Amino acid sequence: MIKGSTGNRYTRTAPPRALTCAHCGEGFESLSSAAKWCTACTGGPADPERYYASVQRLKKYDLSYPEFVKMLVDQDGECAMCTVNAATDVDHCHTTGKVRGLLCRACNRFLGMYEVKGAMARSYLLQAESGYAR
């Protein structure tokens, strides 16, 4: 620690490090060597909630903030499945990891359950159409 001119104590910080964004490949500077993405891909730290959500989308789906906003605009902010509710969740293929679109929470949960139990549901409905049997 070094004494400042006002007598206050302060620590000297290291200069920013030159890093490369793991998503877009552009160079950026950060004080943290753990930083992986530039502010363009994360939407910047100005809004902590938006920033956190952007980082989570980058980690899970390799979907940058500008790409997310473009998808949202292309879908008019609506769920790609029901077109009634606001699109809040990222829909992706669990096998390939490929992002398919933005859905509302209800449609995303429904689709997730359908992918897991769809064959069982179809089988039940076919049997149920023939009438209730004990």
- pLDDT tens-digit map of 13-35: 678 888 888 888 888 888 777 78
Quote the strand ranges of 12-132, DSSP E: 17-20, 27-30, 89-92, 99-103
Tell whether 70 is covered by a domain.
no
pTM exceeds cut of 0.85? no
Same domain, 107 and 128: yes
Domain region containing 53: 15-64
Q: State the Cα–Cα distance between residues 54 and 67, nearest whole angstrom.
A: 10
* φ and ψ of 51, to 5 deg: -60, -45
Q: What residues are paired with 2 via a beta bridge?
A: 10
Tell whether 6 is covered by a domain.
no
pLDDT of res. 56: 86
Please count the structural domains in the chain: 2
Query: What is the maximum span of the chain, computed from C-alpha positions, in angstroms?
Result: 89
CA distance between the termini of the chain: 81
Same domain, 126 and 95: yes
Fill in the DSSP letter of residue 92. E
Q: How confident is the model at residue 10 (pLDDT cuts 50, 70, 90)?
A: low
Same domain, 106 and 129: yes
Which residue type is seen at 86? A
Same domain, 54 and 109: no
pLDDT of res. 119: 87
Same domain, 46 and 80: no
pLDDT of res. 16: 83
- pLDDT tens-digit map of 49-106: 777 888 888 888 888 888 888 999 999 999 999 989 998 899 998 888 889 999 999 9
Q: State the Cα–Cα distance between residues 35 and 127, nearest whole angstrom.
A: 55
Check residues 43 and 123 and name the one with the higher pLDDT: 123
- Tokens for 13? 């910080």
